[in-house]
Amino acid sequence: MARTGGTAGDPLEPLRSTPWLTEAHRKALHLGFIVLPLMILYQPLAWPRGRAEWRWALIVLTLAAIAVDLVRIHDHRVARFFRRFLGGLIRDHEQFNLLGSTYLLLAALLAVEMFTPRVAAAALGFTVLGDGIAALVGKGWGRTRFFGKSLEGAAGGLVACLAWAAWLSRAGILPWPIAIAGALVASLAELLPIPLDDNLGMTLFAGFTMKLLGAPS
């Protein structure tokens, strides 16, 4: 999420602050999920391959993540374990809710189920890169608040989404108008107060936009 932060003076000073470094650690895991859309596109492993296998793989991963979250939320001993080792990486609202990584797996499952592999991978890439970069830019340099986020962070997320769209077009995965439309809708979904987790909102809105515009299979 794009949030406000940072200090005046040295423009790189926010990168040395504890809040930004904590956010960087949190978003490093989020950005690492970029391997998921790339694997969906290029199928580098013997399994999973194809829509059916990806569906089952993501069902297993998502159910496992939800189960861990439920135990973490309701078992005080497990909750203490998470706070001890991952406390700084868990947001306040995630203490009694699903983790962002769980929502991202759920978004991947829904995308694979509802869209073609190209659209699913493209939408997930917008979510991973757009949301991750928006959070880092917003935490470091966010000043102008808008619906609890920052326009600076949103701009950073938009640039990341446009870069992903440019790669999608350059690699021949999607026509550039469709890729650009997906980038714009994903960025808008990240900024606006839509009552969905960003991982779900960005993926679904971008995916449906590209699908409706006639993205090739």
Tell if the pTM clears 0.85, that is, is over it.
Answer: yes
**Mean pLDDT over residues 83-94, rounded?**
68
CA distance 47 to 123: 22
Which pLDDT does position 9 carry in this prediction? Answer: 61
Q: Where residue 92 falls among pLDDT bands split at 50, 70, 90? A: low
Give the start-end residues of each E strand in 168-214.
none
Q: Domains of the chain: which residue ranges?
A: 13-212
User: Each residue of 170-206: pLDDT tens digit?
Assistant: 999 999 999 999 999 999 999 998 888 999 999 999 9
What are residue 7's phi and psi, to 5 degrees? -135, 165
User: Each residue of 152-175: pLDDT tens digit?
Assistant: 999 999 999 999 999 999 999 999
